[in-house]
A and B are shown apart, each in its own frame.
Chain A
Amino acid sequence: MVKKRVPDWLNNSLWYSRPPPDDERILRYASRYSDPEPTAEPPTPAAPSGDPPRPEIVDSARDRDGDGNGVLESPSAEEISRQSQLLAELSSKVVNMRELRRLASQGIPDGSRIRPVVWKLLLGYLPPDRAIWPSELAKKRSQYKNFKSEFLMNPSEITRRLEKSANGDNDEIKRQNSGLLRRSGITHGDHPLNLVASSIWHQFFQDAVIIEQIDRDVHRTHPDINFFSGDSQYAKSNQEALRSILIVFAKLNPGIRYVQGMNEVLAPLFYVFRNDPDLDNAAAAEADTYFCFSELLSEFRDNFCQQLDNSVVGIRSTLARLSELLKQHDEELWRHLEVTTKVNPQFYAFRWITLMLTQDFDFGDIIHIWDTLLSDPEGPQETLLRVCCAMLILVRRRLLAGDFTSNLKLLQHYPSTNINHLMYVASKLCSKHSG
């Protein structure tokens, strides 16, 4: 099986078909309303609000002849065979996870439309035994519904429900027509100005800060993609879903609550599940996404916890491992970066790792990269480090020629590149390492 190999001279900024993404990214976060990106590959226009728009993400991986004209070429023979192998795996009674992971790590063909199911299997949401899928799904989805009703209720409603269960449904309010209103005792000794920690009102006001942050971030997620932002009913319902998922997660994980950036990690998951061709699954995408997001974050949770920053499991040590990896495979580049120009991985790789590259590639590319990341049996972190290393190696020529400022600028606004080539280099790092 021969993967397309991009010759070295092609790995040069002269050949990139689209303009550098620097300005767009700055614009994107400077204002909520940004103009559509002036890309050479126009995204397919969204259908009018009401119907879910066709997936509008056009990614460079499918653009095999590199001409950037946005036409999706028909899948190669190799992709077709992989697709049929994947379908075969998924139709067997008990899915062979090892085989599935091996196949998925090479990328899941877009046309097959099985990505949602494969991701759910890879993240452990669906068990390998296909027979119990319906019951598992039903259980999890109702669990999520309970979470939502528990956490998303405001204290007024909670008080009302408590009262109803305590006093029965007698509507004493109706009885009086005139005269002094009767005073009654407060439910459970709780009132809005209560400063006691166990008061639901007090907790509500404390959570209000986090919820505000979540709201802000959800509105800022991918403003250029109609699925996430804009005035359509569809976009609004998607934002609502993202918001609910993040709030439930923050409430159930008081250890890390919500950290800025989680919305970015959540976005591709929700997008993939919501665009599931199976309509039942698409309707329940919110619940499924919540559990998969939980699962995914449990792997990376240590990166978000500030207290663990300097420990063995924290982000610092992860960055150190990236350095080690680079040193192993490309000592010259490592020396130039860390010693000569003093470009510490903290300056560029922090975002790559904690956000799983969601900020550095186009949405379509991210989904392809995540195919490989999620299929790693040891967890996404290992593959992620290899991909980061590959990212560095691919631009080594420019890095070696640059100083601190230009290298930092390059790495913080990583130039768009052929994803297939990137993943190939990353996989080669793996075999070299084990070899």
Chain B
Amino acid sequence: MVLVLALGDLHIPHRAADLPAKFKSMLVPGKIQHIICTGNLCIKEVRDYLRTLCPDLHVTQGEYDEDTRYPETKTLTIGQFKLGICHGHQVMPWGDLDSLAMLQRQLDVDILVTGHTHQFTAYKHEGGVVINPGSATGAHSSVTYDVNPSFVLMDIDGLRVVVYVYELIDGEVKVDKIDFKKSTAPPSH
């Protein structure tokens, strides 16, 4: 039972001052084993804050990040799942399922976490899942101001992953979940 937090596109301090208070009160150290951040933090202080929540932090390069040394993509294995991270601005068209699926095949991962669109989505594609945790601060994206703060917590337990989606809608935290089970047979390429 491994808890993995996925978030991104905070755009602190340029577009948002901080995470919403209700999110911050829920995110306490000691519960989460890994943090995946798609990028656009943007400053070092945010990275330090995330590191206090959990020492195992993975960040990829977003186009507004002040620190330019993050990798463009990253893969890691947690339990039975291979996860891939990428900010998503590199994949054109932004947020397109087929293009992201290409990236997923390229990285050879079961779960691909990307951001940039600031909208939560979760696609299932040929035995893999593409998750966009949205923007944790509700910062405006390149195309719209209509953004709800959201992030994702994945509970990886054997071959199953339960994705808990936390959204701040009208000042209230709404939680939904999505079940995903990895097929035991390896996909044929």
Contacts and interface: CB of A to CB of B under 8 A. Distances in A.
Contacts of B179: 172-173, 184
Contact of B177 (A154, A157, A191, A208): A191
B47 interface: no
B80 to A, nearest CB: 14
Interface string A170-197: 0111101111111111110101111100
A205 interface: yes
Interface residues on B, range: 20 to 34
A179 B177 contact: no
Contact of A156 (B28, B126, B162): B162
B176 A178 contact: no
A194 B157 CA distance: 19
For chain A, the bracket of interface size reads 20 to 34
Nearest to B31: A205
B124 interface: yes
Chain B contact residues, majority secondary structure: strand
A84 to B, nearest CB: 55
A155 interface: yes
Contacts of A186: 164, 175-177
B177 A184 contact: yes
Interface string B59-91: 000000000000000000000000000000000
B178 interface: yes
A184 B178 contact: yes
Contacts of B30: 205, 208
26 contacts: A154-B157, A156-B162, A157-B1, A173-B180, A176-B124, A177-B124, A178-B124, A180-B121, A180-B123, A180-B124, A181-B122, A181-B180, A182-B178, A183-B177, A184-B178, A185-B176, A185-B177, A186-B175, A191-B166, A192-B153, A192-B155, A193-B166, A194-B26, A195-B26, A205-B30, A208-B30
Given A181-B122, A181-B123, A192-B155, 4 more contacts: A156-B157, A180-B121, A192-B153, A193-B31
Lowest 7 A-B CB distances belong to which pairs?
Answer: A193-B26, A156-B157, A181-B122, A183-B176, A156-B1, A191-B175, A154-B1
